[in-house]
Amino acid sequence: MSLEIRIIGKGCFFCDQLYKIVQDLIAELEVPDAKVAQVHEMDELLEYGVVNPPALVVNGKLKMMGRVLVRSRVRKAIEEELGSGGGGSGRGAETPPHRGTEED
């Protein structure tokens, strides 16, 4: 199962921390063909409607935005895509993205 994961933000501390969490989870979940990228272009922020970066996009679906440093929530977002067969049909998810904080 292939995953394309994008961390969209401005390159802030929270973006970097989310990137590290995602890299750790990819190794832990043994998804060697996952592609993980940090994106800093404003066009992508606007395309996905991100108002509170960083945002986590998995297979083209906005999964969460805001300070999403809660490892369990990031893991759940990745596992949802692994279980759904992926496909990346475009923007949006079936459920609204989580706008989390560190305390969640």
Task: Break the chain into its structural domains and give their ranges.
Answer: 4-93
Q: Please, where are the H alpha helices in the chain?
A: 13-28, 42-47, 71-84
Tens-level pLDDT at each residue, the chain (104 residues): 689 999 999 888 999 999 999 999 999 999 989 999 999 998 988 999 998 999 999 999 999 998 767 899 999 999 999 986 544 434 343 444 555 544 44
Q: What is the pTM of this model?
A: 0.77
Phi, psi of 60, rounded to the nearest 5 degrees: 80, 0
Q: Would you say domain 4-93 falls under CATH 3.40.30.10?
A: yes
101: DSSP letter: -
* CA atoms of 14 and 87, how far apart (whole Å): 27
